[in-house]
Structure 1
Amino acid sequence: MPILLRCPVCFEALSPEQKSAVCKNNHQFDRARQGYLNLLPSNKKRSKNPGDDQMMVEARTRFLNHGYYQPVIDALIDKIQSFSPEAPQSILDAGCGEGYYTSAIQEKLEDSEVCGFDIAKPAILAASKRNKAIEWLVASVSDLPLMDEQFDVIISIFSRSDWPEFSRVLKPGGHIVILTPGQNHLMALRLAIYDEVRPYPEDKRLQDLPEHLYLLESQTIDHMMMLENSQAIMDLLAMTPHYWHINARQKEQLERLDQLECELEMRLSVVQKRYTETQ
């Protein structure tokens, strides 16, 4: 079943029409030449160019394409497959970035319908070049341009979660897979930058779930990476919030490194939507 889109202006269903999508109130959204749809109206943006910029997208693409985060892909796919070992699923990647994880999931679960969205237009442009079989959208997590209760799985990787919106588009019994940093995630990178490093705090979002969502399970993904050149180290930096906080001296000392052994530690948590009493 194709992904069902919702007009971001009037919330009516969007229907495909040649190279665009249009609702019954004649709000029309044209597909970009690369195939994606921009469903983030300018009046709903908090800034002119929200999200990652072109430099950060290119750094992320270079780094991830080297396979440093392959254990994360493997864990994600194993978990998604465990929800429905036989039947295909409809999957939404919320805050998909340049589509590395989304594409890998679609290629492995090729019978599933997959949609990825991000608020950053440069990221979706890169994603649409990576994989043509996915419905790519420029959209905001707080106002999803998607019809209700159509997804079996939502994944959210180091992205903001909007529980009401996730619940709205998720089928009853569906799963939300969330990846957050473990306490020691990228510790070696942080030690190379800062004089004092604190462990990442525990994610509070999972402690404040609405009543119809509950934490089903959690596991840790732990892997040691060897970054073998300065480019990989600086690309990893550009993927993190630390990029915006380091000063010139800290950046310079990081650039002098020609290799770095760095721990990848992520927490994979699964949240499930409760069935209603009538179901």
Structure 2
Amino acid sequence: MSNPIAFKCPICDNSLTKDGSSYACENKHSFDIAKEGYVNLLPVQQKSSKNPGDSYEMIKSRQEFLEKGYYENLAKTLVTTIISLNPRSLLDSGCGEGYYLQKLRHELTEATLFGIDVSKEAIRFAAKRKLDVQLAVASAYQLPFFNGSFDVVISIFSPISTNELARVLKPDGRVIIVGPGPDHLKGLAIQLFRSAIPHEGNFSLLDSDPRFNLVTEQEVRGEITVAQKDISNLLGMTPYYWRTTPEQKQQLLEISELKTPLQFHIKGYSKSPA
């Protein structure tokens, strides 16, 4: 039987043990468990700003948009792909507000699931879903887990560190990365900027890393019609929000609906033999 997965102290790398309402290591570094049930394992020295990651407004927009089912085809394909791997342990790195974790928890009833995000607001939203999932505020570039902890690590539209993925993945583990295709949200980009904007995913980082082998590749395509009341949430959850002028935003919010293609790439990577 495999050992239980433990959080690793972000300060001294020793194992953290749950003690009442906090986690602590043998060096007496202590991390309180929030009332929502998550733990903050992002020390000041790992923060790039006072409140790193997505803001409350972005997280709220994403949650409200996703709950309308616009990305349901992606969620179904992702869950089916992961079920086929039959993981006993899974980490969602950059889990956001927990939309995909909730889908996975419903199907992977026996697996141990963890979710981390650098955004405290995102983890708070995820914790409010009341899932049987271990959640932590933490950086994808310094994952608070020991070597070889997980059967599967997933990253959906989130930053990754190939060094950290290789470290926390079991020897026979799998990394699943979801990123945008060239046509993803093309309708939104054209409406805002009059032309499509190329997307950059994380695939090249893994494709060029000799520690990983590409073993599966899927594409999920579709077209959605976004209702007027949901357009502001779609914009608010994308990087386009920061590129648009107030005038562009106002023009977008005045249209009655938005038609746009969706294009997701789902790639699976195994670790190369040592």
Taking structure 1 as the reference length, the TM-score comes to 0.93
* Shift, 1:43, TM fit: 2.0
Structure 2 unaligned residues grouped into runs of 5+: none
State the Cα deviation string for residues 214-250 of structure 1 (Å, max 9, x = none).
Answer: 111211111111212x221110111110000001121
Q: Which residue of 1 aligns with 2:257?
A: 259
* Shift, 1:16, TM fit: 1.2
Q: Does 1:248 align with 2:237?
A: no
- Aligned to 2:128, the other structure's residue is in SS state helix
CA distance in 2 between partners of 1:21 and 1:141 (Å)? 20
State the Cα deviation string for residues 122-152 of structure 1 (Å, max 9, x = none).
Answer: 1100000013311010000111111111100
Contact 2:83 2:107 in 1 (8 A): no
Q: Which residue of 1 aligns with 2:32?
A: 30
Contact 1:92 1:154 in 2 (8 A): yes
Q: Does 1:49 align with 2:48?
A: no
Q: Which residue of 2 aligns with 1:237?
A: 235
Matches within 5 A, 1:177-188: 177-188=176-187
CA distance in 1 between partners of 2:6 and 2:222 (Å)? 37
Equivalent residue letter for 2:14: E
Q: Which residue of 1 aligns with 2:146?
A: 147
Equivalent residue letter for 1:133: D
CA distance in 1 between partners of 2:271 and 2:257 (Å)? 43
Q: Does 1:204 align with 2:192?
A: no
Contact 1:91 1:115 in 2 (8 A): yes
State the Cα deviation string for residues 65-118 of structure 1 (Å, max 9, x = none).
Answer: 11111111111111111123xxx5201000011110111111111111100010
Query: Root-mean-square deviation (CA), in Å?
Result: 1.4
Q: Does 1:219 align with 2:218?
A: yes
Taking structure 2 as the reference length, the TM-score comes to 0.95
CA distance in 1 between partners of 2:128 and 2:200 (Å)? 36
User: Which among 78, 86, 93 is matched to residue 80 of structure 2?
Assistant: 78
* Shift, 1:34, TM fit: 0.5
State the percentage of identical aligned residues.
Answer: 37
State the Cα deviation string for residues 36-70 of structure 1 (Å, max 9, x = none).
Answer: 00000112211000011111111111001111111
Contact 2:152 2:175 in 1 (8 A): yes
- Aligned to 1:271, the other structure's residue is in SS state strand
Equivalent residue letter for 1:23: C
CA distance in 2 between partners of 1:231 and 1:24 (Å)? 52
Equivalent residue letter for 1:124: I
Contact 1:154 1:175 in 2 (8 A): yes
Q: Which residue of 1 aligns with 2:272?
A: 274
CA distance in 2 between partners of 1:35 and 1:262 (Å)? 38
Contact 2:96 2:122 in 1 (8 A): yes
CA distance in 2 between partners of 1:54 and 1:168 (Å)? 31
Flag the 1:4–1:201 CA change in 2: closer, same or farther, 3 A. closer
CA distance in 2 between partners of 1:206 and 1:159 (Å)? 14
- Aligned to 1:5, the other structure's residue is in SS state coil
Q: Which runs of 4+ in 1 moved over 4 A?
A: none
Equivalences, count: 271
- Aligned to 1:221, the other structure's residue is in SS state strand
Flag the 1:46–1:198 CA change in 2: closer, same or farther, 3 A. closer
CA distance in 2 between partners of 1:251 and 1:197 (Å)? 16
Equivalent residue letter for 2:233: D
Equivalent residue letter for 1:131: K
Contact 2:59 2:97 in 1 (8 A): yes
Contact 1:193 1:254 in 2 (8 A): yes
CA distance in 2 between partners of 1:205 and 1:181 (Å)? 15
Q: Which residue of 2 aligns with 1:21?
A: 23
Matches within 5 A, 1:157-196: 157-196=156-195
